[in-house]
Amino acid sequence: MITNSNFNFKRSYPLILELPFSEHIEELRQRLFHIVWIILFLTCLTFLEVKVIVQILELPVNNVKFFQLSPGEYFVSTVKISFYTGLLFASPFILGQLILFLLPGLTEKETKIILPLLLSSLCLFGAGLLFSYYALIPAALNFFLDYSSDVLEPLWSFDQYFEFILVLFYSTGLAFQIPIIQILLGFLNLVSAQQMFDAWRYVLLISTIIGAILTPSTDPLTQLLLSLAIVTLYFSGASILFLIKN
């Protein structure tokens, strides 16, 4: 009689045995709240030393004078720089909050896959930023400077310059996520490593198109560098997937 009563009690109140959906929403809301506050805090902190960041952003070009088209242009630019820098510095914290939210619902096997992928994604994004800063941006800017050096004096709007390198930064960072996408597709059994290797002709064509689309400049050197990076990342991802699966 007691056993039947307990059985009926569990069937009548299943939410006692598992976390309610509303609590998942509340936990997500709290973690998003923490993420917003840490981004705002780091943005304000970065704004106090934004001139140092501006000088770092100006390093890839020489003998160029920057100007502002309107009285508040430089101020707005520094606010944007502070926000994107704060967002960049907050990315490990954001990743940590995402892991803590997903971790309770993952199996042991999924945890062994998801956690390394998330950390690798963060590292690859940082590598993309470094590649853009030390390779793509100098190549693109020096091309434009050399092309117009005989007829024009290099005077650039700082706001437009910042938007130019911002696009390069984030497009390169996203392009560096290709191996992560490949590994996910492989674990979902949608595409095998051998199929990825066999599609190398299409990869060369697509990488050229992506390089032309993602780079805001029209110079061939920058597009070539990004295309080569995409091809290298693609075959690296296929190789890693092959080693994991075999």
pLDDT of residue 6: 46
N residues, the chain:
246
pLDDT of residue 8: 46
For the chain, the domains span: 11-143+155-173, 177-246
Considering the chain, what percentage of its residues have pLDDT values greater than 70?
88
Q: Is pLDDT of 146 > 90?
A: no
pLDDT of residue 219: 67
Separation CA 174–CA 178 (nearest Å): 8
pLDDT of residue 108: 74
Full-model pTM:
0.75
Q: Is pLDDT of 1 > 50?
A: no
Per-residue pLDDT band at 234 (split at 50, 70, 90) = very high
- Average pLDDT of the chain is 82
> Of 35, 60, 12, which Cα lies nearest the Cα of 168?
60
Mean pLDDT of 169-195: 86
HEC assignment per residue over the chain: CHHHHHHHHHHHCHHHCCCCHHHHHHHHHHHHHHHHHHHHHHHHHHHHCHHHHHHHHHCCCCCCEEECCCCCHHHHHHHHHHHHHHHHHHHHHHHHHHHHHHHHHCCHHHHHHHHHHHHHHHHHHHHHHHHHHHHHHHHHHHHHHHHHCCCCCCEEEHHHHHHHHHHHHHHHHHHCCHHHHHHHHHHCCCCCHHHHHHCHHHHHHHHHHHHHHHCCCCCHHHHHHHHHHHHHHHHHHHHHHHHHHC
pLDDT of residue 50: 92
Separation CA 52–CA 50 (nearest Å): 5
